[in-house]
């Protein structure tokens, strides 16, 4: 493989670029809050990976499950690559998972060892989750100085030969445990060739090459970040920069100057709200209509966001309100919504540059077939990225993955005459009011999310005659409340008007009876959000269920909890 272009697995991609451009920097890792960084060339990464792969191969049987726990870092990439190169199975674990869930994943996956990386403040929540007898390898940014150290193991181990011909593309490469909005996470088995479907297929949409730059900051344990950053960068030989913490994110973004940038709706929304807080929309409209000045202002906004070099901007994992997508497009950033799930290696549908339809997830990717179930309206997808199945769960595998190769996505969808697919909600999110009418909450939540006062919203039924909306305010709105005693009344009127506007677009059985403003923060730490910042609907509803009867009785259409 070393002398030919046979990029059929992540390790083979690494070896290809290590031979072709050995001295070019691949990974740039912050090592302190002050901005100091360590850089790793393709040759250096290849050397460390081959040495660690040799150690793992000599220590654990082929096919062993090796877990990786840590925030995004250069050594997260290296650990993942070493595990795959050794012929073993990588098991990424979200660093934000609570201790019982981490323990569950380690036990359920039959992990033989765990690589612990950069954890920082999260280690105190995870420290008790690792079984005492489970072997640990600590990377340079790990909180475990007494465990066997990556650098020591690498230094005393001879590297594997620089080839990856032994890797079977059809074999299990990784167990991706779903982030889980309900119940215990399921272990999705993805093959090497499934993981490679995204770069191969997406290359015909927007060419990527070694001049491109990525910033990795969303959890690499999530399939979208792993495919959009790790896999794409390895296949195309692009540079990757890592973020240190949320506090240094702006500096990290400015350092990376990414040309391809993937984020989730929650963060695109926060960027938008942050700009609108400093430069209100009304002032933007005025400035954007002034010739010459409008280009200067728009470029300045993108530069301050660190997105002025971005040529491909992607959003996915949940719907983004159309008005926010249009706002980015008005700045000159063609934000493209893409669609996929863990069970198909995030490779399903995408909007194409120059042919995007706002509000849709685009058209089917190369090699993807799909259909919409006539009875349920559920989207079924047959993708080159489809999973081999759920680990230790043949019953659920048979339920979700048909004998014809079509995967049940759990998403309801519509398709227009150009083949663009619109996701209309989750099948399992449908709820029934006490009147016996079904309500799909996601489209209603999208309509409410146009307000910059709203950070997150959950439409729920609670067995009431009409649905209600639970809302968490944005930072901007919270600052308004702190600074102005009259802001609460103003916000009440604004959100009351929004309720009326949204209700006017809905059938009568979906009309919101009340908007309830919550004072609690919904976060990953308290279990209200998934690692990709989607609301955990069941958790949110369970938390507020005891309070709803009293809140419903309160006067007014907008109630403050």
3-class DSSP string for 417-468: CCCCEEEEEEHHHCEECCCCCEECHHHHHHHHCCCCCEEEEEEECCCCCCCE
User: What span, in angstroms and rounded, lies between the C-alpha atoms of 51 and 473?
Assistant: 50
Per the DSSP assignment, residues forming a β-bridge with 172 are 191
Residues 358 and 347 in one domain: yes
Answer whether residue 532 is part of any domain: yes
Domain end, chosen from 376, 402, 427, is at: 427
- pLDDT, position 183: 67
Structural domain of residue 27, as residue ranges?
A: 10-196
Bridging pattern class, strands 454-460 and 468-473: antiparallel
Query: In this structure, what token pair is assigned to residue 102?
Result: 């981490």
Bridging pattern class, strands 172-177 and 187-191: antiparallel
Answer whether residue 238 is part of any domain: no
CB 310 within 8 A of CB 333: yes
Residues 301 and 405 in one domain: yes
Answer whether residue 89 is part of any domain: yes
Q: Can you give the CATH number for the domain in which 53 is found?
A: 3.40.50.12780
User: What span, in angstroms and rounded, lies between the C-alpha atoms of 82 and 134?
Assistant: 19
Alpha-carbon distance values, 8 to 1, 106, 165, 176, 191 (Å): 10, 28, 9, 19, 11
Residues 384 and 492 in one domain: no
Domain end, chosen from 392, 427, 462, is at: 427
Residues 266 and 161 in one domain: no
Residues 417 and 457 in one domain: no
Answer whether residue 237 is part of any domain: no
CB 143 within 8 A of CB 123: yes
Answer whether residue 100 is part of any domain: yes
Closest CA to 264 of 173, 165, 335, 176: 335
Answer whether residue 233 is part of any domain: no
Please report which helix (H) or strand (E) contains residue 373, including its range.
none
Please report which helix (H) or strand (E) contains residue 104, including its range.
helix 99-108
Give me the number of domains the chain comprises: 3
Answer whether residue 456 is part of any domain: yes
Q: Can you give the CATH number for the domain in which 458 is found?
A: 3.30.300.30
CB 382 within 8 A of CB 366: no
User: pTM score, two decimals?
Assistant: 0.86
Residues 288 and 392 in one domain: yes
Residues 348 and 438 in one domain: no
Residues 52 and 186 in one domain: yes
- pLDDT, position 3: 39
Answer whether residue 216 is part of any domain: no
Residues 40 and 144 in one domain: yes
CB half-sphere exposure, 239, CA atoms < 13 A: 19
Residues 439 and 418 in one domain: no
Q: Which residues contact 87 (CB under 8 A, 6 or more apart)?
A: 57, 62, 63, 166, 167
Domain end, chosen from 162, 196, 230, is at: 196
CB half-sphere exposure, 31, CA atoms < 13 A: 12
For the chain (561 residues), the mean pLDDT of every run of 10, in chain order, is 70 96 98 92 98 98 97 98 98 93 96 97 94 96 96 97 89 89 83 94 86 95 94 97 91 94 90 89 91 92 93 89 91 94 96 92 96 93 97 95 94 94 88 88 89 91 92 89 90 94 94 94 86 84 92 93 87
Query: In this structure, what token pair is assigned to residue 195?
Result: 């993981």
Residues 271 and 154 in one domain: no
Residues 470 and 383 in one domain: no
């Amino acid at each position: 493989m070393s002398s030919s272009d046979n990029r059929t697995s992540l390790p083979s991609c690494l070896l290809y670029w290590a031979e072709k451009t050995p001295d070019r920097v691949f990974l740039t890792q912050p090592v302190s809050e002050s901005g100091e960084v360590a850089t790793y060339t393709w040759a250096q990464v290849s050397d460390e990976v081959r040495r660690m792969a040799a150690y793992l191969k000599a220590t654990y049987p082929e096919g062993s499950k090796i877990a990786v726990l840590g925030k995004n870092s250069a050594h997260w990439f290296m650990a993942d690559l070493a595990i795959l190169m050794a012929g073993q199975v990588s098991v990424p674990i979200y660093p934000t998972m609570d201790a019982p869930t981490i323990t569950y994943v380690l036990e359920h996956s039959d992990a033989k060892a765990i690589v612990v990386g950069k954890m920082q403040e999260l280690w105190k929540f995870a420290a008790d989750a690792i079984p005492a007898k489970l072997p640990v390898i600590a990377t340079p940014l790990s909180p475990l100085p007494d465990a066997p150290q990556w650098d020591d193991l690498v230094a005393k181990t001879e590297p594997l030969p620089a080839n990856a011909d032994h890797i079977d593309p059809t074999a299990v490469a990784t167990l991706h445990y779903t982030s889980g909005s309900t119940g215990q996470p399921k272990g999705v088995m993805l093959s090497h060739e499934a993981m490679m479907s995204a770069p191969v297929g997406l290359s015909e949409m927007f060419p990527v090459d070694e001049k491109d730059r990525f910033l990795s900051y969303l959890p690499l344990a999530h399939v979208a970040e792993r495919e959009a950053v790790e896999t794409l960068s390895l296949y195309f030989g692009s540079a990757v920069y890592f973020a240190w913490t949320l506090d240094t994110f702006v500096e990290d973004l400015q350092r990376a100057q990414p040309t391809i940038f993937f984020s989730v709706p929650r963060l695109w929304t926060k960027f938008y709200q942050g700009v609108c807080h400093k430069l209100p929309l009304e002032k933007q409209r005025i400035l954007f209509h002034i010739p010459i000045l409008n280009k200067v202002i728009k470029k300045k906004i993108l530069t301050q966001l660190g997105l002025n070099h971005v040529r491909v901007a992607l959003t996915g994992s949940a719907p983004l309100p159309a008005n926010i997508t249009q706002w980015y497009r008005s700045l000159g950033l063609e934000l493209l919504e893409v669609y996929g799930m863990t069970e198909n290696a995030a490779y399903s549908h995408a909007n194409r540059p120059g042919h995007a339809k706002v509000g849709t997830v685009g058209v089917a990717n190369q090699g993807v077939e799909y259909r919409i179930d006539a009875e349920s309206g559920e989207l079924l997808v047959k993708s080159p990225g489809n999973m081999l199945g759920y680990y230790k769960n043949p019953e659920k595998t048979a339920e979700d993955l048909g004998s014809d190769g079509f995967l049940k996505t759990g998403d309801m969808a519509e398709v227009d005459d150009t083949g663009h697919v619109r996701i209309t909600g989750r099948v399992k999110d449908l709820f029934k009011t006490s009147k016996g009418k079904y309500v799909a909450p996601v489209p209603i939540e999208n309509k409410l999310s146009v307000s910059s006062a709203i950070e997150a919203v959950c439409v729920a039924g609670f067995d009431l005659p009409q649905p209600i909306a639970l809302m968490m305010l944005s930072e901007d709105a919270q600052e308004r409340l702190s600074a102005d005693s009259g802001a609460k009344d103003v916000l009440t009127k604004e959100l009351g008007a929004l309720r009326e506007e949204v209700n006017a677009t809905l059938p009568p059985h979906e009309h919101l009876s009340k908007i309830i403003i919550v004072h609690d923060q919904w976060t990953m730490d308290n279990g209200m959000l998934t690692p990709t910042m989607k609301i955990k609907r069941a958790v949110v509803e369970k938390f507020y269920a005891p309070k709803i009867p009293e809140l419903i009785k309160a006067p007014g259409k907008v109630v403050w909890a």
